[in-house]
Chains A and B, each alone.
Chain A
Amino acid sequence: MREAGDTDLVVSGLSAGYRHRPVVRDLTLAPFRAGQVTALVGPNAAGKSTLLRALSGLIPARGAVRLGGEDLLRLPRARRAAIVGFMPQALPQGVALSVIETVIAALRAVPGAAPLPGAAARARAAALLVEMGIGALALEPIDRLSGGQRQLVSLAQAVVGEPRVLLLDEPTSALDLRHQAVVMGLLRRLAREGRVVAVVLHDLALAARYADHVVVLDKGACAAQGTPEAAITPRVLAQVYGVEARVETCSQGRLQVMVDAPLA
């Protein structure tokens, strides 16, 4: 295996969770490569979201998360925020802000950093929305958006600061097939620009289709990791999800996961 480069994210000895209930214990993973999409999958309560939150610095964690020479866990909040972008599961409801206002706020609220002048911030926010194909929604109140549009706006808020590491918690939940493809395609593009992109997914088919690297979590530990073909196998699915499943390659060479029955 090739050594971790300066732009790769390396998780080692990471423990995180709640005071009396550590969810993730002493987790060491193969590097998340810049330029690749890493999918975090696993059953409910496996620690996927906890891992993502620990990586974002939203919950306290022990261990190390290295990017180049720096340990993200030990960086001051504002420095880390400049490197890591996080996309939570949902946008809040009942907020009287338009799409472009939220993206500008995400850009200008970052403390410490030299503030981008207003005109530059407006231009960058508008350019990003257009690039993501939602330029026409710029002035739309976020409360009036559909579920798919909301996910895209939330993604725009996470991406607008141009983070080198992008962490996303189920960005495709509640999306229809088309929007799933749009969001995952966008994530691949963002990764190809040289970012580390780690994404929690429930849908193994999406993980198999769009991820370069898959980490299967179970009970706070790593059950399998590697390429989709290496990590998503009938044996792993039986062990982690407790299901009898087949993993087959379809006529176009893509991995397909078919669940036959829960294991007795």
Chain B
Amino acid sequence: MTGGAREAVGEVHAAVAGYGRLVRRRLLVIAALAVLVLGAVLLDLATGPSGVTVLDAARALVWPDSAPRTTVVIVHGLRLPQALMALLVGASLAVAGAEMQTVLNNPLASPLTLGTSSAAVFGAALAIVLGIGVPGIPSAWIVPANAFLFAFGSTLLIQALSRLRGAGGETVVLFGIALFFSFNALVGLVQFIASQQALQQLVFWTLGSLGRANGEQLAVLAIVLAGVLPWSLASAWQLTALRLGAERAESLGIAVGRLRLLALVRISLLTGTAVAFVGVIGFIGLVAPHMARLLVGEDHRLLIPASALCGALVLSLAASASKLLVTGAVLPVGIVTALVGVPIFLALVLASRRSA
């Protein structure tokens, strides 16, 4: 072997090894995120009006027999459903946001900015104010069912409209903005004619709250997430290749239109279900994917799980904060999430403008 050839082989080995290190380091970051999420959930379980320490909460969770009876009741009966809901909703919205930003090639896209959440609010408003719902649905499920249908329907509508135009990501964003304003106007209309009591109920729903979480809802959301996550991951390479440009992806043999459509179906499922149960929770879908991107890059095999964990982490922390900010009261988590999310979002915008 000549010296030059040997040098080249060495360089190839170095590049392969470097890539291996990069991936391993990012897997470690993901593992660390998972640990943080666990910690945040324990903190969430230990936070609240009655004094339960993190250790007590952990003990009640793992060895309920050895913990005091009241602690077990508080942790399992009251706080666990809400804590798990925060976990699942955060993960769902973040994964939806990550996929949305990729398939629409727009760093500002999220379920909220594209009108999905507004559509859900309108569905909920119809049920709460006018009593309009899907026939045959049990009364406890009318509001979430409406919210889901409208959220799911709005995303499909965006997709159908943009297929009609045969257009790319920008058109989808424009249609999303149109939907956002349309549904907001409709919600305003319904609010205007609503009774005082219905209006209060609707406003509370809109603020986003984990307080309504129950076992059935948790099960539904867990099933949706468990179905959608592997489906997203199966498209991870194609989503990564889409980041190289739609034309490049197309020339690699990827059916970009179909990839975009299926991603939007996944996004509708995740957002529709999450929003239906907890109301509007802003910024998770926007900010968590950006956090994940900063941490692990845009290889979607890593970005999707990292986004899920970042979303779960932020919403879990927000859930704790919602119980701590005002003594003796639990704020709607939607308010707190926005308060936590806005500074991160502004910092991101400023940072990206500086580098541009």
Contact = CB atoms under 8 A, between A and B. Distances in A.
Interface in A90-128: 90-92, 94-98, 100-102, 104-106, 108-113, 122-123, 125-127
Interface residues of B, number: 35
B251 A85 contact: yes
B232 to A, nearest CB: 14
Given A78-B253, A135-B11, A88 B248 contact: yes
Contact of A101 (B14, B245, B252, B297): B297
A161 B15 contact: no
Interface in A37-77: 56-58, 77
A92 B11 contact: no
Nearest to A84: B251
Contacts of B107: 94
Contacts of A135: 8, 11-12, 14-15
Given A92-B245, A111-B238, A130 B253 contact: no
A122 B250 CA distance: 22
Interface string B92-111: 00000000000001010000
A123 B12 contact: yes
Given A122-B19, A135-B15, A96 B244 contact: no
Contact of B250 (A58, A92, A104, A123): A58
A27 B107 CA distance: 41
Nearest to B239: A109
Interface residues of A, number: 49
Contacts of A106: 241, 244, 248, 252
Contact of B248 (A86, A122, A136, A139): A86
A136 B238 CA distance: 26
Contacts of B253: 77-82, 110-113
Contacts of B255: 77, 111
Contact of B252 (A79, A81, A126): A81
A92 B252 contact: no
A151 interface: no
A141 to B, nearest CB: 8
Given A108-B237, A110-B253, A86 B247 contact: yes
A82 B254 CA distance: 11
B293 interface: yes
A15 interface: no
Given A88-B251, A95-B243, 15 more contacts: A90-B245, A97-B299, A100-B18, A104-B19, A106-B248, A109-B237, A109-B254, A111-B238, A113-B253, A122-B16, A122-B20, A123-B16, A130-B11, A131-B8, A135-B8
16 contacts: A78-B253, A86-B251, A90-B245, A95-B243, A95-B298, A96-B293, A96-B297, A97-B240, A97-B243, A97-B298, A101-B299, A105-B244, A106-B244, A122-B16, A130-B12, A157-B248
Interface of B: 8, 11-16, 18-20, 22, 105, 107, 237-238, 240-241, 243-245, 247-255, 293-294, 297-299, 352
**4 closest Cβ pairs, A-B complex:** A81-B253, A109-B241, A86-B251, A126-B15
